């Protein structure tokens, strides 16, 4: 039994939290407990041990953070005006212009209507009566003279499909379907 003391069992113990956080995570747990008791907090998890676990795990942003009254300490005026901007962006739909090289006029689509790239590309194909090639990260779109591109927030021309869908719809300002030699030029860039 004596030799058990020589084993650093704590170091190998499986638990949530960063290594070497035994005291600190307890302190955080007690801090969390204190927070949980505050009447000002809404929707706080009453189960203190679950809340403590949440606090110990540094990787996840604690979901209750957003519901603390008066935190972060920003003037209501400022909070309200940022909130207005977000709501405006969210409720109006994300309409972007779509142009196709050679087409007489542009179209507009609501990016929010699509769940991902396959749906978007299908909608574009239907709208403009063309077919895109097969997408690969290495070569872009292969097998068609049409290539879907978009202009992002910084004004740069980007290939559709490289970034995650969520990031794409937040940064896409307009779509452009390139055609012919210009499009092939893009494909050649490896």
Beta-ladder partners of 140: 136
Interface with another protein by CB under 8 A: which range of 42-50, 82-90, 97-105, 109-117?
82-90
Counting residues that bind another protein (by CB under 8 A) gives 39
Backbone angles phi, psi at 181, to 5 degrees: -65, -35
How far apart (Å, rounded) are the C-alpha atoms in residues 143 and 121? Answer: 15
How far lies 38's CA from each of 4, 16, 64, 76, in Å?
42, 25, 13, 22
Give the shortest CB-31-to-another protein separation in angstroms.
Answer: 5
**Is residue 73 involved in binding another protein (CB under 8 A)?**
yes
Using CB under 8 A, pick the residue from 26, 43, 50, 71 that binds another protein.
Answer: 71
**Is residue 75 involved in binding another protein (CB under 8 A)?**
yes
Backbone angles phi, psi at 22, to 5 degrees: -60, -55
- DSSP of 32-48: HHHHHH-TT-SS--S-H
**Is residue 20 involved in binding another protein (CB under 8 A)?**
yes
- Tracing tokens 């996840």 back to the chain, one arrives at 60
**Is residue 40 involved in binding another protein (CB under 8 A)?**
yes
Interface with another protein by CB under 8 A: which range of 2-10, 15-23, 93-101, 112-120?
15-23
Beta-ladder partners of 93: none
Contacts with another protein by CB under 8 A lie at 18, 20-21, 24, 27-28, 31-32, 34-35, 38-40, 55, 58, 61-62, 65-66, 68-79, 81-83, 85-86, 153-155
């Amino acid at each position: 039994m004596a030799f058990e003391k020589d084993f650093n069992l704590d170091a190998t113990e499986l638990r949530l939290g960063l290594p070497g956080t035994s005291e600190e995570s307890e302190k955080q747990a007690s801090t969390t407990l204190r927070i949980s008791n505050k009447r000002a907090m809404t929707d706080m998890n009453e189960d203190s041990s679950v809340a403590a676990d949440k606090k110990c795990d540094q990787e996840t942003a604690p979901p209750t953070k957003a519901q603390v009254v008066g935190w972060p300490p920003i003037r209501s005026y400022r909070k309200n005006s940022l909130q207005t901007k977000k709501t405006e962006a969210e409720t109006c739909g994300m309409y972007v212009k779509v142009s196709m090289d050679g087409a007489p006029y542009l179209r507009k689509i609501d990016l929010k209507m699509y769940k991902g790239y396959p749906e978007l590309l299908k909608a574009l194909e239907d709208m403009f009566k063309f077919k895109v090639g097969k997408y690969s990260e290495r070569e872009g779109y292969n097998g068609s003279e049409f290539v879907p591109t978009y202009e992002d927030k910084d004004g740069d021309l980007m290939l559709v499909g490289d970034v995650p869908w969520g990031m794409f719809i937040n940064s896409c300002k307009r779509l452009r379907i390139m055609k012919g030699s210009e499009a092939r030029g893009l494909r050649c860039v490896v």
